[in-house]
Structure 1
Amino acid sequence: MRVAVVGATGNVGTAVVQALHERPEVSSVLGIARRMPDQTAEPYSHADWASIDIGAAVAPAEAIAHLKKAFADVDAVIHLAWLIQPNSKRELLHRVNVEGTRHVALAAAAAGVDTLVVASSVGAYSPSPGLEVRDESWHTGGIPTSHYSVDKAAQEQVLDEFAAEHPEVTVTRLRPALIFSAEAASEIQRYFLGSWMPVQALKAGRPPLLPLPEGLRLQAVHAADVGAAYAAAAVTGAGGAFNICADDVLGVQELADIVGGGKRVRPVEVPPSMVRTAMSAGHLTGLVAADAGWLDMGMNVPLMDNSRAKEELGWQPTRSAAGTVAELLDGMIEGAGADSVPMRPRDASRASLPAVVSASGDPARAGDGAAMGSAGAAGSAGAEGTGGPAEAGERISPVVDRELLGLYLADHLTGSAAGVSRIQRMAEANVDTPVFAELSMLADEIRTEQHFLEQIIHDLGLAQRRHRQAAAWAGEKVARLKNNGVLVKRSPMTLVLEVELMRSAVLAKKGGWETLRDNADLLGLDKQVFVDLVENVDRQAAVLDQVHAYARRRAFRTDKETFTPLE
């Protein structure tokens, strides 16, 4: 059978693609997402891929038409796509999460798909005070103060209506608990904690006290187990709702033990109202990514009974909730991730370097010494902690002026710091436009290339002059203060100007890669790496040309919303 996975690049989607690959009943998988992953990396290499917007920036009829075409030879559809951020764009979240589900369902019916499996959540359930365990018959009215919960409840209503109108399609909904894995650590930190949270400080030591909401009880499940549950639902064609969670329940003491990592950490139970106030303040100031609605949901949803999934899907959790949360915490500390934009690692050295393949034939990593020539490979390893930059720098030919080389590379690194900040902001500001996917993937590439350049400077034993990068980063932030004629909302002219600046920056970067390419032998570097990177710049510039074409047609319009396609 052929299975399509909508939203195949996130935490759950990645696990589902892997689980489907392991099922002998599944002959092929179609991954669908706005932003494409590294299709040479595991597990994404096991699927065919299509970039389809289910409703963020296209009209409903267009979304349904594209999905119907993609589903033409599909036996089952697993729908996982869900937009968690930005919290401030409630209309966008509803358009993607609730109406997007409707689009997927209608397209599946139109294409003659037999089974539709949809990602619901424990968050769809109505409040259930106390510790009574609930099965799938519990009400799905949601938690009114949580936008995520409200949208999950609305999604369930869409599925009820669809199932009544299309009895020929088996409709299955999975309601998982909190879904964690090491590979999802950086994604989860971005979505819920934010980049300012110093989780990595836990590597140096654990706190003696851990404040937690009084009475907190959590259920969790490992992403791999959730992936197996979705695969089982698609293959068996079992309809209805299924609770998916590990068998153990975590209270404040269990959570404190996990954070302690073998050392004694005492939990301090704080009234939920106080935690809510602090969380609201943190969210308003930008220190915390999640709003207080997430706390409301966590404190009020029921504990779930997972026996139906075990009996009818033949599913069993293979990891405990405690072990899953511990794995997530370790992943956050290390900055772990995977080879898709949503799951990009916080530590950029773990990310695949765009357009570069290592000597083994695998995607090269930004921090693995991919640029080092054979003469300097040992020096690269030394730079990581054995030989140090001075030893690594011995690969540079004596005819090279190290001071000039250092200044040149530091200048390019300074420019990249401003470029990374700008392209990331451009992507975030245009999440509701048809060019979001291209901008977001480009931002991820440029961020990884910046770290790669940092690594080259380090491995050559040259100074990075970090004060320059800090100044460039701050300068880019100040440049955002221009109003482009609009003070209280996004100006349609802004994207045009920003793309023009980024095109100049990308072409300047090309000059840097060309310079390193032509001097690779003198620097002990692998010339082919920079040949690949020069070619990749041309593709990046072409992407920016396409974005500019979109933006300039809207730059001075007053009759179109930003995301609305022109006639």
Structure 2
Amino acid sequence: MQIAITGASGSVGSALIRRLQAAGEHDIVAVARRTPDYAVMDGPRWVSIDLSVPDSGHLLRLAVSGADAVVHLAWGFQPSHQVEYLEAVGVGGTQRVLDACAAMDVGQIVHMSSVGAYSPKRDMSPVDERWPVNGVPSSSYSRHKVAAERLLDSFEQTVDGTAVARLRPGIIGQRSAGSALLRYALPALLPAKAVNAVPVLPMPAGLSIAMVHADDVADAIVRVLQQRAVGAFNLAAAMPISAAMIADALGARWLDTPIWLVRALMRATWQARLQPVAPGWLDLGCAAPALDSTRARQELGWSPAIDSITVLRETLDGMGHAAAGSTAVLRRRTVLGELSDLVGRGLVSHRRLP
């Protein structure tokens, strides 16, 4: 089976490539903006494409030509102050991938959506795939995930013969994503060990985060590919993560703090360029529903092998040790390297990535 993967150098892409290579029966075309500077015999064929560029369509058509399936994982998280760029990657990139698939008659598309596409929860009850997909308006990530799903809706209505599946996982973690998450979330001059030196965690009691391991997401993708499954699938370990659980995993004391106060502090420090996380992420963490993954269990035979607490602890451990992978996205983070980038390219929340 020939499979083209966009965003192949990221956390889920790396896990999926590991899973597919272990099976040893697939021809993989790995699409990424920054491709590895090495080649592995019998490994994926890497293709460099920047999905934010409007005229990348020709390269995309070449990349997916002959593919039996396309797995669309590419997304942007930084620079958080350049929302138009993030929209160009996530929404514009999705449109360009769909256009390429239609032009080259690709028979199957697996799109990585998110719990962030769902409308705010009403209570703590898990929701299934019928929950409204209208997002959390104050989160640009959520708005863009909703917009991408609308593009899939339009594609399904106008293009015949393509099996389209959309996966809606919770927050995805794994140890090797530690350095990447540090770049997204930690001020440049703070060392990785600062993750393990948090004495108090001021967070609202309403914070609740569905989590799932990258390897479990990769397993779900493979099952969708094998079964040519269509429609939406929630993917999450059974128990959402609360603020108290995060504090416990950090060895910190949880301080129940009103959301308006935490949001005001996040907004002030984000606008002052002191930290790179936009306050919309807090809104999303407090509004996103718990996920019912029954459909994935019943139709795909999928169940998470790793529970949410283990995913959380593994991910935080990876952050605390600046764990890394072999791709540019997952490269090791150091304070010296961050300082060099800060001087040469500016803050991660503002810079236009090369």
Pairwise TM-score range, normalised by the shorter structure: over 0.9
Check conservation: 2:276, 2:349, Cα contact below 8 A.
no
| 1:259 equivalenced with 2:250 (yes/no) | yes
2:11 maps to a residue whose letter is N
1:174 to 167, 172, 187: 167
Give the corresponding residue for 2:141.
148
SS, match of residue 268 in structure 2? helix
- CA distances 1:282-309 after superposition (whole Å, capped 9, x unpaired): 1112222111001111100111101111
Q: Where do residues 338-377 of structure 1 align in structure 2 (5 Å cutoff)?
A: 338-347=325-334
Deviation at 1:90, TM superposition (A): 2.0
SS, match of residue 337 in structure 1? coil
SS, match of residue 173 in structure 1? strand
Give the corresponding residue for 1:371.
none
Per the normalisation by structure 1, the TM-score is: 0.59
Give the corresponding residue for 2:48.
51
Give the corresponding residue for 2:283.
296
SS, match of residue 30 in structure 2? strand
Give the corresponding residue for 1:243.
234
- CA distances 1:400-454 after superposition (whole Å, capped 9, x unpaired): xxxxxxxxxxxxxxxx99976554449997737xxx2xxxxxxxxxxxxxxxxxx
Alignment partners' CA distance in 1, 2:348 and 2:120: 36
Deviation at 1:105, TM superposition (A): 0.9
The 1:340–1:131 alpha-carbon spacing in structure 2 relative to 1, beyond 3 Å, is same
1:272 maps to a residue whose letter is I
Check conservation: 1:170, 1:238, Cα contact below 8 A.
yes
Determine which structure has more spread, i.e. the larger CA radius of gyration: 1
Check conservation: 1:197, 1:287, Cα contact below 8 A.
no
- CA distances 1:443-496 after superposition (whole Å, capped 9, x unpaired): xxxxxxxxxxxxxxxxxxxxxxxxxxxxxxxxxxxxxxxxxxxxxxxxxxxxxx
1:309 maps to a residue whose letter is A
Check conservation: 1:123, 1:149, Cα contact below 8 A.
yes
Alignment partners' CA distance in 1, 2:72 and 2:287: 26
Deviation at 1:21, TM superposition (A): 1.5
5+ residue gaps, structure 2: none
SS, match of residue 165 in structure 2? strand
Give the corresponding residue for 2:67.
74
1:281 maps to a residue whose letter is A
Alignment partners' CA distance in 2, 1:298 and 1:116: 28
Alignment partners' CA distance in 1, 2:348 and 2:203: 34
Greater shift after overlay, 105-114 or 251-260? 251-260
Percent of pairs identical after alignment? 36
Give the corresponding residue for 1:126.
119
SS, match of residue 23 in structure 2? coil
| 1:328 equivalenced with 2:315 (yes/no) | yes
The 1:45–1:91 alpha-carbon spacing in structure 2 relative to 1, beyond 3 Å, is farther
Number of aligned residue pairs: 354
Check conservation: 2:4, 2:70, Cα contact below 8 A.
yes
Alignment partners' CA distance in 2, 1:223 and 1:274: 32
2:123 maps to a residue whose letter is G
Give the corresponding residue for 2:299.
312
The 1:68–1:292 alpha-carbon spacing in structure 2 relative to 1, beyond 3 Å, is same
Alignment partners' CA distance in 2, 1:249 and 1:417: 32
SS, match of residue 118 in structure 1? strand
- CA distances 1:90-125 after superposition (whole Å, capped 9, x unpaired): 222222211210110111121111100011000000
The 1:97–1:206 alpha-carbon spacing in structure 2 relative to 1, beyond 3 Å, is closer
Give the corresponding residue for 2:324.
337
Give the corresponding residue for 1:469.
none
The 1:139–1:17 alpha-carbon spacing in structure 2 relative to 1, beyond 3 Å, is same
| 1:114 equivalenced with 2:107 (yes/no) | yes
- CA distances 1:361-401 after superposition (whole Å, capped 9, x unpaired): xxxxxxxxxxxxxxxxxxxxxxxxxxxxxxxxxxxxxxxxx
SS, match of residue 279 in structure 1? helix
The 1:266–1:418 alpha-carbon spacing in structure 2 relative to 1, beyond 3 Å, is closer
The 1:248–1:65 alpha-carbon spacing in structure 2 relative to 1, beyond 3 Å, is same
Per the normalisation by structure 2, the TM-score is: 0.92
Alignment partners' CA distance in 1, 2:236 and 2:280: 22
Alignment partners' CA distance in 1, 2:348 and 2:142: 26
- CA distances 1:100-153 after superposition (whole Å, capped 9, x unpaired): 101101111211111000110000001113101100011100101000000101
1:233 to 195, 212, 224: 224
Check conservation: 2:80, 2:349, Cα contact below 8 A.
no
The 1:235–1:186 alpha-carbon spacing in structure 2 relative to 1, beyond 3 Å, is same
| 1:30 equivalenced with 2:23 (yes/no) | no
Alignment partners' CA distance in 1, 2:145 and 2:303: 25
Check conservation: 2:34, 2:48, Cα contact below 8 A.
yes
SS, match of residue 183 in structure 1? helix
Greater shift after overlay, 44-53 or 7-16? 44-53
SS, match of residue 134 in structure 1? coil
Alignment partners' CA distance in 1, 2:30 and 2:83: 27
Deviation at 1:271, TM superposition (A): 0.7
Check conservation: 1:196, 1:287, Cα contact below 8 A.
no
Q: CA RMSD in A?
A: 2.5
